[in-house]
């Protein structure tokens, strides 16, 4: 999940909880205020009725609610002294009304002369209930609008706040260390983003310097190592041509020459791996893999014939990809060379091509290879010193460079498949 979305999520949850609690407290307080207002009115009405009893004895004749909004009943002293004012909510039939209506009722006791009376007064709460209902729905709508507005505003504000970060992230994704592109710049004056810009640019400058030094070393090594190796090989070949060397010396010189040639191949492979990992192959072209496969099969025809290996090519679809043509040729050549080299005498190699994959399978050892180690450097399944153990490592490096998926499977034959979709 994006950092922006996480920020919005946490803020939204926090705001949701805060507004929910606030709405509940506000609603409860408003209910309390409404009830207090009704209760104050009932208290005032009670005092007025008690005051009327001092002037008008007919007030004591109100025994039921049909004659007014209060009733008075005579009670004994013990009951009166134990009574406290209390409020209740109930339903009553009102005059000129067929339905029960909600009322708020106050029950109290008072003394008149030597006698004690229970006074019950009530007030209709129909209007107050309507007010409470309107208040409830108003709070609900206010709650929804408030939450939605705050979330929307936060979304807009946070998007604006994080925009420089995402622009910097986009620049970093498009950044290539092997190109002289300008350093990423953060727009705005946010302190944290400016510090991020300084840290990122510092890392980029350091990485460029390291890359330049490594590239320079690779180029120098390619020249400085290959030249003396070539000279040694030529001199050894000249020595072998001289008849003055005895058979034993000739055999020793031949072994040295073979070792030098293997060292030369090893050096070239390591330099190639270094160049691939440093992304020094930037020439892109639309590569026809069918043509490359046929060319590689032709180039390796003598090698396959020497080992008596039959190579067949099956094309079920045209396979094209935009990449460096030399790396594509190395990819195909290494897979075919590996399949022929590690084959049985009189074995078979089958190449399959379709619109999105290249598959090379071959006969060989009746044992599955370790798929976790097979693409590691210097991993060899044979003790033959002519193998550098870097062929499949180079294949894997090329696939990783272009985002290909390379897999090994065994179903009686060893199969390597490169998926380019």
Query: What pLDDT score does 100 carry?
Result: 75
Q: What is the mean pLDDT of the chain?
A: 80
Instruction: Yes or no: say if 343 and 336 are a contact pair by the CB < 8 Å rule.
Output: no
Q: Are 3-147 and 285-419 equal in CATH topology? A: no
pLDDT at 64 over 70: yes
Query: What pLDDT score does 37 carry?
Result: 83
Q: What pTM, to 2 d.p., does this model score? A: 0.48
Domain boundaries, the chain: 3-147, 191-277, 285-419
The tens digit of pLDDT for each residue in 221-242 reads 666 667 777 777 777 777 767 6
Please state, for a pLDDT cut of 70, what percent of the chain lies above it.
84
Tell me which residue of 42, 95, 34 sits closest to 65, measured CA to CA: 95
The tens digit of pLDDT for each residue in 327-376 reads 888 889 889 988 888 888 889 999 999 988 899 999 888 788 877 778 87
Query: What pLDDT score does 361 carry?
Result: 92
Top-confidence residue, 65 or 164: 164
Query: What pLDDT score does 208 carry?
Result: 81
CATH of 285-419 given 3.30.420.40, 3.40.50.720, 3.40.50.620, 3.30.565.10: 3.30.565.10
What architecture is domain 3-147?
Answer: 2-Layer Sandwich (3.30)
Top-confidence residue, 76 or 259: 76
Please state, for a pLDDT cut of 90, what percent of the chain lies above it.
4
Q: Find which of 186-190, 219-223, 388-392, 403-407 is predicted with most confidence, using mean pLDDT.
A: 403-407
Query: What pLDDT score does 323 carry?
Result: 87
């Amino acid at each position: 999940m994006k950092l922006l979305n996480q920020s919005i999520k946490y803020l939204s949850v926090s705001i949701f909880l805060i507004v929910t609690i606030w709405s509940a407290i506000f609603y409860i307080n408003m209910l309390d205020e409404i009830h207090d207002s009704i209760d104050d009115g009932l208290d005032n009405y009670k005092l007025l009725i008690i005051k009327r009893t001092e002037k008008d004895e007919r007030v004591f004749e109100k025994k039921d609610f049909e004659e007014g909004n209060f009733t008075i009943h005579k009670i004994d002293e013990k009951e009166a002294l134990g009574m406290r004012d209390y409020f209740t909510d109930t339903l009553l039939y009102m005059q000129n009304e067929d339905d029960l209506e909600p009322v708020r009722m106050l029950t109290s006791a008072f003394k008149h002369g030597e006698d004690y009376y229970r006074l019950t007064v009530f007030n209709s709460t129909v209007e107050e209930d309507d007010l409470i209902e309107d208040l409830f729905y108003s709070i609900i709508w206010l709650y929804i609008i408030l939450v939605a507005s705050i979330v929307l505003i936060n979304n807009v504000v946070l998007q604006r706040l994080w925009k420089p970060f995402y622009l910097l992230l986009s620049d970093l994704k498009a950044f290539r260390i092997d190109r002289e592109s300008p350093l990423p710049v953060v727009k705005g004056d946010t302190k944290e983003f400016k510090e991020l810009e300084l840290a990122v640019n510092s890392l980029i400058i350091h990485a460029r310097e390291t890359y330049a030094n490594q590239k320079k070393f690779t180029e120098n090594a390619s020249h400085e190592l290959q030249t003396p190796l070539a000279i040694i090989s030529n001199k050894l070949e000249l020595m072998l041509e001289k008849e003055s060397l005895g058979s034993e010396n000739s055999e020793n010189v031949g072994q040295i020459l073979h070792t030098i040639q293997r060292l030369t191949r090893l050096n070239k492979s390591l330099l190639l791996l270094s160049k691939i990992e440093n992304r020094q192959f930037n020439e892109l072209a639309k590569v026809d893999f069918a043509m490359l496969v046929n060319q590689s099969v032709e180039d390796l025809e003598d090698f396959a014939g020497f080992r008596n290996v039959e190579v067949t090519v099956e094309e079920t679809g045209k396979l094209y990809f935009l990449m460096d043509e030399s790396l594509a040729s190395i990819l195909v050549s290494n897979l075919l060379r590996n399949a022929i080299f590690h084959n049985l005498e009189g074995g078979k190699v089958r190449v399959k091509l379709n619109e999105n994959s290249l598959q090379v399978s071959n006969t060989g050892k009746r044992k599955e290879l370790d798929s976790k180690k097979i693409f590691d450097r210097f991993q060899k399944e044979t003790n033959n010193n002519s193998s550098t153990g870097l062929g499949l490592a180079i294949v894997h490096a090329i696939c990783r460079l272009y985002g290909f998926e390379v897999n090994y499977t065994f179903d009686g034959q060893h199969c390597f498949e490169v998926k380019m979709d």
